[in-house]
Amino acid sequence: MSAGGPDLGLVIVNWNVRDLLAACLDSIYVDLARGGLRARVCVVDNGSEDGSAAMVRQQFPHTRLVAAENRGMGAGNNLGLRTLAAEDDFFAYLILNPDTLIQPGALRTLVEALRTRPRAGVIAPKLLNPDGSLQHSGFRFPGVIQAALDLYPPPGRLGRLLDSGWNGRYPARWYTAGTPFRVDHTLGAAFLVRAEALQPWGGELFDESFTMYCEEIDAQWRLGRAGWESWVAPAAAVIHYGGRSTAQDPTRSFVHLWTSRRRLYRRYHGPVVNALVQGLVSAAMRGRIRANHRRSQRGQLTPDRRAELNQMLAEVVQVWQSRRGRVAIDPRLTE
């Protein structure tokens, strides 16, 4: 497709999901062979202990494997981008989670969609759940309403708001139509980024202060301010299992999520929005602390589990109240 270097460099950051990674790599190489793309694949293994690295060496010897200390998804992806850029000049890079399966024709469709849109910096596929149902891959930038709906999910029929524009979703019919459409940002599970768009940041994409979560939102917010567009190309499909790495440590993942959201909101929103969201977060977390005490009194939660959960919730409260990052926990919040 290109007269110069390879069309595509693929970066996958892995942590202890060996079997999913193997299936992901299988789907990549099958689709690359079908689509005739010139590509290289780099797996950054973030200190896995399940034999992931050995599996890649044995089953996928042509894959570039980088063993790394686990410093988060953003740092791992930046390492993969630097590794590939040092080896060749690529037209674009695909950032891909290991819990994904590339569907037939997806890689070529994404590359062609990016080539025909000169201002597109990012383009993502349609994501599917394992049962084939739609998983949104494009979103509006988060604000107060999205935070409120996440913290206080509406009951009954009002639950439909969670899958609507009020919650940053684009209409499902846009995915069904198959025509590419613009979005504010795409989900980080799978998206193609133009190599040219990375030049102002030395070929890297992510702010590594986002240890986990929101790093793709921050990156695409910065790209948008630099004049680049984000798109979804629903003719390309990728199955996404979702949350398999973070499920290994849900408590710390929850704290990482709300710490990253704090950083994102303070970077891109003013004091009024931040004050509103801080109030929502604090009220929601304190409400959950009280609910955990009631569950514990009814015998539905052990004292140790209650203490663990309340410590987590209290840390989120203080992260949002602090002007800095993470701070010591006020023990009064967990009593």
- Cβ neighbors of 96 (< 8 A, separation 6 or more) are 10, 11, 12, 24, 28, 189, 190
Residue 138 contacts residue 68 (beta carbons within 8 Å): no
pLDDT digits (tens, 9 = 90+) for 64-83: 999 988 888 999 999 999 99
Say how far apart CA 81 and CA 96 lie, in whole Å: 12
Say how far apart CA 44 and CA 47 lie, in whole Å: 9
End-to-end CA distance of the chain: 62
Residue ranges per structural domain of the chain: 8-246, 270-333
Q: Is the pTM of this model over 0.95?
A: no
Residue 22 contacts residue 41 (beta carbons within 8 Å): no
Kindly write down the DSSP assignment for every residue of 169-216, as one continuous string: BPPHHHHHH---EEESEE-TTEEEEEGGGGGGGTT----TT--SSSHH
* 8-246 fold: Spore Coat Polysaccharide Biosynthesis Protein SpsA; Chain A (3.90.550)
- Among 33-37, 219-223, 269-273, which is the least confidently predicted range? 33-37
Look at residue 31 and give its three-state secondary structure.
helix
- Cβ neighbors of 131 (< 8 A, separation 6 or more) are none
pLDDT digits (tens, 9 = 90+) for 149-202: 999 999 998 889 899 999 999 999 999 999 999 999 999 999 999 999 999 999
